[in-house]
Amino acid sequence: MIQSFRENRRLQGFLLILPTLLVMLVMLVLPLTLTVITSFGQRDADGNVIYTFTLENYWRLLGFTETGWDDLYLGILMRSLWLAVQTTVIVILMAYPLAYFIARAPEKRRNFLLFLVLIPLWTNFIIRIYAWVMILRGQGVLNSALGGVAGLLSIPFTPFDFYPSQGAVLVGMVYEFLPFMILPIYTSLEKIEPNLYEAAADLYANAFHTFWRVTVPLSMPGVVAGTILTFVPVIGTFVVSDILGGRQVILVGNLVQRQFLDARNPPFGSAASIILLLMTLALTLYYTRRFGLGEEIAAG
Amino acid sequence: MTGRFWGGLMVVVLVALLVAACGGGSAAPAQEATSACPEPNPRVEVTSTELNLFVWTEYIPQATIDCFEEVYGITVNKDEYSSNEEMYAKLSAGGANYDLVQPTDYIVALMIRQGLLQELDKSRLPIFAQLDPNYLSLPFDPDNKYTLPYQAGTDAIVVNTDAVETAPQSFADLWNPDYAGRLVMLDDSRAIIGMTLLTLGYDVNTTDPAQLEEAKVKLAELVKGVKLFDSDSPKTALIAGDVDLGITWTGEAVVAQREVPAIEYIYPTEGPILWQDNYAIPTGAPHIDAAYAWLNYSLQGDNFWRMLDEFPYTNPNLAALEFAKANHPDLYDAYINSNITNTPADVLKRGHRIQDVGAATPLYDQVWTEVKGG
């Protein structure tokens, strides 16, 4: 019996992944199934879920109401999507040069530089966002510094309204997700064989050509991985927007949260989160088909 | 919140240093210093050794908890929430084993309907006699079968008179274009939509879609000039000067005024929104005897007076006020002479109470989403 177990590779493999499978089942498949079922339900007057089968929640989200077309919820989805796109693009533009710099640094210094990238993550995320409030507010660090400089040059100075604003939200988002882009890009840049650069030079490629035809294509897996690690969480995030944006706008994350709390309308909230899920899935699939699968996800 | 946060961080660091210095071995000397705890009166029979509180954040003086633990030898476990909806969601999901919760008026009726609360046994609550009758038998729980009042307050206008020349006297005045970009509002759909309904002469609890539609159009105008929605700590932005006026609630206004004396609290001519937080025992509470012991002990005058100092709201506890008058006259005077905590009787008369609107709840949510999302 023990002998046959030793030879049964499939059984061994199955037993090894069993804990993960169970976690996935309990923490992912079951809740998701419940969400799907709830999304076809209705709320009673007190906010309890009545389990029926109606597509009403989905129609309302997509804009088809009794009184006609209403793009309220699609607008909120688009706003969240746009914020995610902006964040991701800025993060790529900032992370790539930094990752490049680290990957090209002397080997001894690389770990130290990576360490610097990671240090902010030691502090709780909410605390770091509140720190941005301190920096950006009317009487905050940034305005005081600018005011001091203006005073030295005897220029009249009125404090800027950095906070709360949508600009502050973007700053907070970029700040928060930058490390998650730097690391995967660094990993793919670091793996590029130096021989390839020599080969490119031997073939008379100049620095730009080498970068564009060798470095960029070989680092794409890192960019793709970083994009997924940034874009997907950003769509659903609303904490940064709430704190730095003064809760002036509603993002899709706020929408879902409000349905489960203030509105006491779990079916509508479930439908909203399913739509968000499907949209994210579709975009991610399209993106990975277009640019290849992010091999660095595991590494990053 | 942020100021409190840095203060809190320093306390944590200091405590950590202290613990490190003590080697974690001898906490005994510190214990003796706190033995000035009031005796329970009356002392009730308790067999439970634990008490599970589910309460608002920053709403119970730590000294009261420490004293209760010392006097009764009961371990107090405290979970906190920052909105009634959060508390309701957790309780209605089932599986929670709390002994006491602190629901606000409008959610009490809903919780009773949903069978989430159990009836109080008044014979075990001698403390009841010390509560101000003005805060008893309110519409959400007519004979106080399920709840007893903890603290009360209002949502009204707050204004920094150093920064604002003409202070608003009514909710309707907030639409003044001079105030645009300087306003802080609670991130509370019912309070803010309710306030807008009042300016239009409608009921705060209307379920009429046409009236809500009208309120939505009007509120959308105001929202453009709102710099900040904050239900966690609107005072922070007021004190820091990020905003100059807006709508906030009793406790926030008191603390803001302590920091910046120019900050005033104005009861709008339409009448403020009134609210009351209450204690209630959830269905299935595992330590009912400890819950009754806590209610009687924590609410007795020589404990509850601390609220005047730490969490200054309108205090429905006559014994606490009397105790403060005799032993802490400065606190008592500050309480009685402040129009924020000691709400004038005529203001109370024209105040409005938020009620659960049942089937119309998603309608309010839609209005809120549209004014913020449109």
pLDDT of residue A46 exceeding 60, the answer is: yes
| Phi and psi angles of residue B127, each rounded to the nearest 5 degrees, phi first | -60, -20
Say how many CB pairs under 8 Å bridge A and B.
91
A74 touches chain B (CB under 8 A): no
Give whole-number Cα distances, B192 to A39, A211, B184, B242, in Å.
29, 56, 11, 20
pLDDT mean over A160-184: 94
The answer to whether B222 touches B198, Cβ cutoff 8 Å, is: no
A256 touches chain B (CB under 8 A): no
A49 touches chain B (CB under 8 A): no
A61 touches chain B (CB under 8 A): no
- pLDDT at site B35: 56
Minimum CA–CA partner of B237 in chain A: A137
Q: Considering only A88-102, A170-184, A284-298, B144-158, which range has the smallest mean pLDDT?
A: A284-298
* Chain B contact probe: residue of A247, A252, A257, A270 with most B CBs at under 10 A: A247
- pLDDT at site B153: 96
A132 touches chain B (CB under 8 A): no
**SS3 sequence of A137-189:** CCCCHHHHHHHHHHHHCCCCCCCCCCCCCHHHHHHHHHHHHHHHHHHHHHHHH
Query: Residue B158 forms beta bridges with which residues?
Result: B246, B265
Using only C-alpha atoms, chain A has a radius of gyration, in whole angstroms, of 25
Chain A residues with CB inside 8 Å of B369's CB?
A: 72-73, 76, 250, 255, 258
Q: Where do the H-state alpha helices sit in A192-300?
A: 194-202, 207-210, 216-236, 239-244, 252-260, 266-291, 296-299
- pLDDT grade for B19, boundaries at 50, 70 and 90: very low
- pLDDT at site A167: 93
Task: Calculate the average pLDDT of chain A.
Answer: 91
**Shortest CB distance from B369 goes to which of A133, A164, A250?**
A250
User: Apex CA A262: angle with CA A32 and CA B283, to 5°?
Assistant: 80
Q: Cβ–Cβ of B372/A137 closer than 8 Å? A: no
B365 touches chain A (CB under 8 A): yes
Chain A residues with CB inside 8 Å of B88's CB?
A: 264
Calpha distance A50→A266 (Å, rounded)? 10
Using only C-alpha atoms, chain B has a radius of gyration, in whole angstroms, of 22
User: Apex CA B181: angle with CA A81 and CA B159, to 5°?
Assistant: 130
A158 touches chain B (CB under 8 A): no
**Shortest CB distance from B110 goes to which of A46, A73, A261?**
A46
Calpha distance A66→A59 (Å, rounded)? 10
Chain A residues with CB inside 8 Å of B5's CB?
A: 127, 130
> pLDDT per residue over A243-252, tens digit each?
999 998 899 9
pLDDT mean over A266-287: 94
Q: Cβ–Cβ of A246/B228 closer than 8 Å? A: yes
Chain B residues with CB inside 8 Å of A264's CB?
A: 85, 88, 361
Chain B residues with CB inside 8 Å of A79's CB?
A: 373
pLDDT mean over A59-78: 90
Q: What is the DSSP string of B201-223?
A: T--TT---HHHHHHHHHHHHHHH
A247 touches chain B (CB under 8 A): yes
At B84, list the tokens.
């009634």
Calpha distance A295→A298 (Å, rounded)? 7
The answer to whether B154 touches B343, Cβ cutoff 8 Å, is: yes
**Shortest CB distance from A46 goes to which of B114, B226, B369?**
B114
Minimum CA–CA partner of B189 in chain A: A262
pTM for the model stands at 0.86
The answer to whether A246 touches A132, Cβ cutoff 8 Å, is: no
CA-wise closest residue to A179 among A238, A91, A256? A91
User: Apex CA B316: angle with CA B315 and CA B317, to 5°?
Assistant: 90
| Phi and psi angles of residue A47, each rounded to the nearest 5 degrees, phi first | 95, 10
Q: Cβ–Cβ of B358/A130 closer than 8 Å? A: no
- pLDDT grade for B32, boundaries at 50, 70 and 90: very low
**Shortest CB distance from B241 goes to which of A43, A134, A138?**
A138
Chain A residues with CB inside 8 Å of B229's CB?
A: 246-248
pLDDT of residue B33 exceeding 70, the answer is: no
pLDDT of residue A69 exceeding 90, the answer is: no
- pLDDT at site B374: 62
The answer to whether B164 touches B183, Cβ cutoff 8 Å, is: no
> pLDDT per residue over B45-59, tens digit each?
999 999 999 999 989
Check residues A174 and B95 and name the one with the higher pLDDT.
A174
> pLDDT per residue over B336-349, tens digit each?
999 999 999 999 99
Check residues B194 and A67 and name the one with the higher pLDDT.
B194
pLDDT mean over B34-43: 83
Calpha distance A288→A294 (Å, rounded)? 7
pLDDT of residue B324 exceeding 90, the answer is: yes
Q: Is A225 strand, coil or helix? A: helix
A239 touches chain B (CB under 8 A): no
Q: How many helices (H) and strands (E) does chain A have?
A: 16, 4
Helices A125-136 and A141-152 sit at what angle, rounded to 10 degrees?
Answer: 30
Percent of chain B with pLDDT over 90: 87
- pLDDT at site A295: 53
> pLDDT per residue over B171-220, tens digit each?
999 999 999 999 999 999 999 999 999 999 999 999 999 999 999 999 99
Q: What is the CATH number of domain B153-274+347-373?
A: 3.40.190.10
pLDDT mean over A255-275: 95
pLDDT mean over A27-37: 96
Calpha distance A38→B15 (Å, rounded)? 47
β-strand pairing of B263-266 with B226-229 = unpaired
Chain B residues with CB inside 8 Å of A268's CB?
A: 362
Q: Where do the H-state alpha helices sit in B118-262?
A: 189-199, 209-224, 234-240, 250-259
- Scanning A136-155 for CB atoms below 8 A from B yields 137-139
pLDDT mean over A213-240: 92
Name the CATH superfamily housing domain B40-152+275-340.
Periplasmic binding protein-like II (3.40.190.10)
**Shortest CB distance from B358 goes to which of A45, A259, A263?**
A45
- pLDDT at site B350: 95
> pLDDT per residue over B129-152, tens digit each?
999 999 999 999 999 999 999 999
Chain B residues with CB inside 8 Å of A44's CB?
A: 359
Amino acid at A206: N
Calpha distance B306→B300 (Å, rounded)? 11
Query: Which residues make up the CATH 3.40.190.10 domain(s) of chain B?
Result: 40-152+275-340, 153-274+347-373
The answer to whether B223 touches B181, Cβ cutoff 8 Å, is: no
- pLDDT grade for B21, boundaries at 50, 70 and 90: very low
Alpha-carbon gap: A155 to the closest alpha carbon of chain B (Å): 22
Q: What is the CATH number of domain A78-299?
A: 1.10.3720.10
Calpha distance A274→A51 (Å, rounded)? 17
ipTM of model: 0.86
